[in-house]
A and B are shown apart, each in its own frame.
Chain A
Amino acid sequence: MSGGGFVALVVGLLLALVASLFIGISLGTVTLPFGEVWRVVGSHLGWHDGEISAVQDQIIWEFRTPRVLLAAVVGAGLSVAGACLQVLARNGLADPYVLGVSSGAGLGAVLAITIGSSVLGGLGASGAAFVFSLLTLVLVFLFAQRGGRIGPTRLVLAGVAVSYLATAATSFVQLYVNPLELRGIMFWILGSLASASWDDLGLPTLAIVVSTAWLVARGRSMNVMATGDDTASALGVDVNRFRIELLVISSLLTATAVSVSGGIGFVGLMVPHAARFVVGPEHRRMLPVCALGGAVFMVLVDLLSRVVDRPNELPVGIFTAALGAPFFLVLLRRSGRGAV
């Protein structure tokens, strides 16, 4: 792809992101007049100061807007984390879900909900999810490495095994909780953006923007790392140090995204591949496309989960798969480029 084509693609994705945020805020489980929606948003942005109803303000400014923004942030974060883990593992199957991070986070949150956060040192469900996802990733990489080298197949096997372990523990705990707590648990296991609030938007946004920018700046080293340890050493990358750097960044990205949205699968696996199908594996081009594409995808998928069966809300995982899989399969058939 030429330089001009790439710029056009990024501009196009930015426009698509703005459009999807716009639609995401305009539509929802409750139908509100279009003009009313943007009058509420406008009043908060200081565009005008007319009368707005408190109920509408609550729905649009306290629930819908942060939720749509969080969807964009989480989509970008999971996608970039997947891209990073795929280079680290040198395996196209790696993603936060496959490597057991999502299950680990789920277990942490469920423990915090059931046995109480005081036992876990005062961590709330999000905090426990964050700590457990870091622990899981460290555990998986410890099992996968031999003499400092990480075997791509071993990594995925270790991830799947740890994932089963965490899921089993979660299922066991689930049997002994009261029905009221079960709802909170299902949120973590299936993944959802419903708990979004302005308060938990800042840190994830910062973490994800900074990590993505850092990885783009390290794009040359990521390219080199993707071609193997020996080649990376030969081309001047300090392989062990860079691997730790990637491990820290991917853990941070994954733990941040999972701690605010639970275990949303498939995005971290699929979006990086889709980005590579379109612009190739050169990371300085692939990562921005991956982040923007992941954000747009997540906003649209979350929108579907809110409007398909109004006024009910469906689990977002249904739509990541229902929308993502066919799109991915078409790309898989048509593209000359891929990751594996």
Chain B
Amino acid sequence: MNVTIAGVDVTIDDQPILTGVSMEVSSGHVHGIIGPNGSGKSTLLRAIYRSLRPSAGAVLIDGADLWRQLTARASARRRAVVTQDSAIDFDFSVREVVAMGRAPHKGMFDRDDRRDAAIIDEALDSVGMSWAGSRLVATLSGGERQRVLLARALAQQAPILVLDEPTNHLDVRAQLELLDLVRSLGLTTIAALHDLDHAASVCDAVSVLRRGTVVASGAPLEVLTPAMIRDVFGVRAHIGTHPLTGMLHIAVAAITDDPDRQADDQTGHQIERPPEDHR
């Protein structure tokens, strides 16, 4: 399934967070969304998982309008989400959390059947958490918890996967394992990423957000240039080859005494605040 984002505007408390965001995500591709803090990455993803309604434009899944033509349940059968920082206040067990992924497939009076159990087992197995089914999520480490949330998304069996900074809270090895896993699933994937190296190595295409608009889109090699990185992130960048993997490697360093950068930074932070206050 492919995803089309067509001229999406999102406004929170009269503050425009996204303006005219468009991108095309092809079926089976991994599409990275990159940009500094407060550039609107999470907001864009929330519009895709039906948590924030765009004030203009549309999100289309295989041509069907997510907000006008699909119900919440129907859209959840098409795309699964790993949200950022999913705090779980109630003491659910790992298995109970993964079982929630079956919710969009079940009616009010359907019971959990063998097929659901098999899907949950498989999801837990594919993230390497089979051993933890009866553990309480609250007792897991950050990395383990992230894998449980991925397992929940897999149990949704949706062809589209949305990931909001999936490598947050993970150690380096867990980051690589998680990205490998995501890559191997072969799903249409939209991921907000902080690490430019990850974006370069995992994504088929990237879109760069800055203050709520897309400033560049395309293959990582074409988009991730030193000039673009300096412009958007306000850091010096060197594009090279990773000494171990042979993949694209981006080294960054701070720019000192650059008035342009400070001006950018301030406006960037103004955009950053509203979504957090809103929570």
- Please list the residues of chain A having a beta carbon within 8 angstroms of any beta carbon in chain B: 90, 92, 147, 149, 217-218, 220-221, 223-224, 226-231, 233-239, 276, 280-282, 336-340
Contact = CB atoms under 8 A, between A and B. Distances in A.
Contacts of A217: 108-109
A238 B89 contact: no
Contacts of A280: 91-93, 96
B166 to A, nearest CB: 14
B271 to A, nearest CB: 18
Contacts of A239: 51, 72
Interface string B47-77: 0011100000000000000000001111111
B259 to A, nearest CB: 37
Q: Helix, strand, loop or mixed for chain A's interface?
A: loop
Given A276-B91, A337-B136, A340-B89, 4 more contacts: A92-B89, A226-B89, A230-B46, A237-B72
Contact of B90 (A220, A234, A237, A339): A339
A276 B91 CA distance: 8
B100 A224 contact: yes
Contacts of B89: 90, 92, 226-228, 339-340
11 contacts: A220-B102, A220-B106, A221-B103, A226-B90, A228-B86, A229-B51, A230-B86, A231-B100, A233-B50, A237-B72, A280-B91
Size band of the B side of the interface? 35 or more
Nearest to B51: A233
Q: Pick the most buried of B87, B90, B103: most chain A CB atoms within 10 A of its CB.
A: B90
B101 interface: yes
Per CB-CB distance, the 3 closest pairs between chain A and chain B, nearest first, are A236-B76, A236-B104, A234-B81
Contacts of B162: 234
B96 A282 contact: yes
Nearest to A220: B103
A302 B87 CA distance: 39
Contacts of B91: 276, 280-281, 337-339
A236 B136 contact: no
B55 to A, nearest CB: 14
A286 B100 CA distance: 16
Contacts of B93: 280
B75 A236 contact: yes
B100 A235 contact: yes
B193 interface: no
Nearest to A241: B72
A337 B90 CA distance: 9
Contacts of A238: 71-73
Interface string B74-88: 111100110100111
Contacts of B108: 217-218
A301 to B, nearest CB: 27
Contacts of B72: 233, 236-239
B278 interface: yes
Nearest to B139: A336
Contacts of A218: 108
A281 B138 CA distance: 13
Nearest to B104: A236
A179 B102 CA distance: 60
Contact of A236 (B77, B83, B87): B77
Contact of A235 (B76, B90, B109): B76
A217 B162 CA distance: 29
A336 B96 contact: no
B101 A223 contact: no
B156 interface: yes
Q: Pick the most buried of A226, A234, A236: most chain B CB atoms within 10 A of its CB.
A: A234
Interface string B100-118: 1111101011000000000
Contacts of A237: 72-73, 103
A201 B93 CA distance: 39
B90 A227 contact: yes
B46 A223 contact: no
A1 to B, nearest CB: 10
Contact of B83 (A223, A230, A282, A337): A230
Contacts of A90: 89
Nearest to B81: A234
B86 A236 contact: no
